[in-house]
Amino acid sequence: MGARLRNKTALVTGSTSNIGRAIAEAFAAEGAHVIVSGRTPERGAQVVEGIRASGGRADFLAADLDGSAEASQDLADRARETLGGRIDILVNNAGVYPAPATTDTDEATFDRVYGVNVKAPFFLTAAVVPAMVESGGGAIVNLGSWIARLGVPTGALYSSTKGAMETLTRAWAAEFGPRGVRVNAVSPGVILPPAPEGGEPHPGEIMMKGTPAGDVGTPGAIAQAVVWLAGDEAAFVHGTVVDVDGGRTGVAVIAA
């Protein structure tokens, strides 16, 4: 067990699988008391069980963050109560990824994706910040995406929501930083769990050919960046989007 987040409390949305789960596990491994949240109690229980088995502290709170202010406020209230009255760190990770073409996107899909990916974290942040300020400060880390800044021919709707989150990161840093709440973001690249030995190549691997990393990243790589931004080591970091993408957006990709 580490100590970089000792005595900190954290709420991580969408943390029953993949990147969110890795973040929750990394936070707990660094000493934080973590709220694991998501829509599936069975998966949440598995994450909490694993964290506790490793000596960490975690609790699960079921939440369907559909974009309503009520759902976000309810999760904030329950998380604060479970964590003993305060939330030191908020990670806005939960998201959905329908990727129809623009001409195939209906209004219901548009509203759902923006509800989950933008409205929910917007209202959750609004619900969490006042108590953070009252308790002396805190840290918020949003999850962006490399395709928010590097256009691809599919997934325009999802890309635009991540662009919104990166813009909110800078705006919130200006709004809340002077009140003691740091706001930053991590922009993941192509992230996949470790492939099984002898498994078939994933299509995402093709997108990383010619990058400095040359391969996809794992959820753990994102988690470590989030730990850094959430902790005291990043005390002078405000309004920054950290690219953890193997060089996909920052370096010219030379096709082999």
Q: For residue 62, give the CATH number of its domain.
A: 3.40.50.720
CA 255 to chain centre: 30
**DSSP character string of the chain:** ---TTTT-EEEETT-SSHHHHHHHHHHHHTT-EEEEEES-HHHHHHHHHHHHHTT-EEEEEE----S-HHHHHHHHHHHHHHTTS--SEEEE---------GGG--HHHHHHHHIIIIIHHHHHHHHHHHHHHHTT-EEEEEE--GGGTS--SS-HHHHHHHHHHHHHHHHHHHHHGGGTEEEEEEEE-SB-PPPPTTPPPPHHHHHTTTSSS-S-B-HHHHHHHHHHHHSGGGTT--S-EEEESTTTTTS-----
The percentage of residues in the chain with a pLDDT greater than 70, rounded to a whole number, is 95
Would you please indicate which residues are annotated as catalytic (active-site) residues? Answer: 158
Give the pLDDT confidence score for residue 194 in this predicted structure: 62
pLDDT band at 154 (very low <50, low <70, confident <90, very high): confident
Mean pLDDT of 88-113: 94
Give the pLDDT confidence score for residue 255 in this predicted structure: 67
Is 110 a member of any domain? yes
Full-model pTM: 0.94
Quote the CA–CA distance of 240 and 242 in Å, as a whole number. 6
Is 254 a member of any domain? no
Mean pLDDT of 37-48: 97
Is 251 a member of any domain? no
∠192-198-203 over CA atoms, to 5°? Answer: 40
∠197-194-166 over CA atoms, to 5°? Answer: 160
Is 178 a member of any domain? yes
Whole-number mean pLDDT of the chain?
93
Is 214 a member of any domain? yes
Is 256 a member of any domain? no
Q: Crossing angle, helix 120-134 and helix 69-82, to 10 degrees?
A: 40
What is the residue range of 35's domain?
A: 9-244
Mean pLDDT of 148-171: 94
Residue-wise pLDDT for 199-247, tens only, equals 666 667 777 888 887 788 999 999 999 999 999 999 999 999 999 998 8
- 195-214 core/surface letters (b: 16 or more CB in 10 A; e: else): eeeeeeeeeeeebbeebeee
Give the pLDDT confidence score for residue 31 in this predicted structure: 98
Q: How many domains does the chain have?
A: 1
Rounded to 5 degrees, φ, ψ at 221 are -65, -40
Residue-wise pLDDT for 6-30, tens only, equals 999 999 999 999 999 999 999 999 9
For tokens 């806005």, name the residue: 92
pLDDT band at 53 (very low <50, low <70, confident <90, very high): very high
